């Protein structure tokens, strides 16, 4: 009886160990308790990006980087007209004047919300830089593509190759979410994969403006 009890106890301990490895703590990505073993970086195929950190936790790949792509994923534009020339007539544009933080004592900012199907992308015009900056985005439609060709339907492997990352097929298979984060200012990209293809992506920033 004691022999079978000890065997049962060993099996339980092993099972718990596997469970804890499969479901790391949410904070592990930021705290560094994640697996980034054997992930390499090739010469960048995206111009002017520099990858400073890479981590995998559960099914999420975190890549911290700098460069034009993280800040201007649709390319650099100084007017909404120049940007929207790339899209069909189905694209709808709404223009707003918004107060940061909803604080009416501050100056209003000109924002633009582009709607296409179930997707939207929102920009704010930075007059000091004369550039459109990303406020937020939620994208489900194939027509909306980023400047480097990333769009809905791209395979996970092609996506990883565009980031110039080297990883094993085992690591690639376990990833369902790729989070890109700027190492300098507040902007984040979230790419969600289903059946090894990009199903949706969203962008967020630290602009204190309405995000939807």
**pLDDT tens profile 48-80:** 688 889 999 999 999 999 999 999 999 999 999
Tell me the per-residue pLDDT of 161-178, one tens digit each, with 9 for 90 and over.
Answer: 988 888 889 889 999 999
pLDDT greater at residue 6 or residue 203: 203
Confidence of residue 47 (pLDDT cuts 50, 70, 90): low
Q: Which of 29-33, 89-93, 184-188, 194-198 has the lowest mean pLDDT?
A: 29-33
Number of other residues whose CB lies within 10 A of the CB of residue 32: 11
% of the chain with per-residue pLDDT over 70: 77
pTM of the model: 0.79
pLDDT value, residue 152? 97
Confidence of residue 115 (pLDDT cuts 50, 70, 90): very high
Confidence of residue 30 (pLDDT cuts 50, 70, 90): very low
pLDDT value, residue 100? 86
Confidence of residue 109 (pLDDT cuts 50, 70, 90): very high
Positive or negative CA dihedral for 55, 61, 66, 67?
positive
3-state secondary structure the chain: CHHHHHHHHHHHHHHHHHHHHHCCCCCHHHHCCCECCCCEECCCCCCCCEEEEEEEECCEEEEEEECHHHHCCCCCCCCHHHHHCCCCCCCEEEEEEECHHHCCCCCCEEEEEEEECCEEEEEEEECCCCEEEEEEEEECCCCCCCCCCCCCCCEHHHHHHHCCEECCHHHHHHCCEEEEEECCCCEEEEEEEECCEEEEEEEEECCCCCCC
DSSP-derived pairing of the beta strands 60-66 and 177-182 = parallel
C-alpha to C-alpha distances, 82 to 78, 87, 96, 132, 156, nearest whole angstrom = 7, 10, 18, 10, 30
pLDDT value, residue 107? 87
Domain limits, the chain: 25-205
Q: Is the pLDDT of residue 133 over 70?
A: yes
Question: Across the strands, what pairs with 96?
Answer: 111
Distance CA 166, CA 38 (A): 8
Q: Is the pLDDT of residue 11 over 50?
A: no
């Amino acid at each position: 009886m004691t022999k079978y009890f000890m065997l049962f106890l060993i099996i339980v301990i092993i099972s718990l160990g596997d469970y804890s490895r499969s479901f790391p703590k949410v904070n592990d990505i930021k705290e560094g308790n994640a697996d980034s073993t054997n992930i390499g970086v090739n010469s960048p195929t995206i111009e002017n990006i520099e990858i400073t950190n890479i981590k995998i936790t559960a099914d999420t790949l975190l890549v911290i980087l700098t460069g034009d792509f993280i800040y201007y994923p649709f390319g650099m534009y100084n007017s909404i007209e120049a940007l929207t020339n790339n899209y069909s007539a189905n694209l709808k544009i709404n223009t707003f004047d918004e107060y940061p933080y909803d604080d009416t004592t501050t100056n209003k900012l000109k924002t633009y919300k582009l709607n296409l199907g179930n997707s939207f992308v929102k920009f704010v015009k930075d007059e000091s830089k004369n550039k459109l900056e990303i406020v937020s985005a939620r994208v489900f439609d194939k027509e909306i593509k980023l400047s480097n060709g990333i769009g809905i339907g791209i395979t996970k492997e092609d996506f990883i190759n565009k980031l110039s990352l080297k990883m094993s097929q085992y690591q690639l298979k376990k990833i369902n979410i790729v989070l890109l984060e700027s190492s300098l200012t507040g902007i984040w990209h979230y790419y969600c994969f289903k059946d090894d293809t990009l199903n949706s992506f969203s962008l967020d920033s630290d602009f204190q403006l309405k995000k939807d």
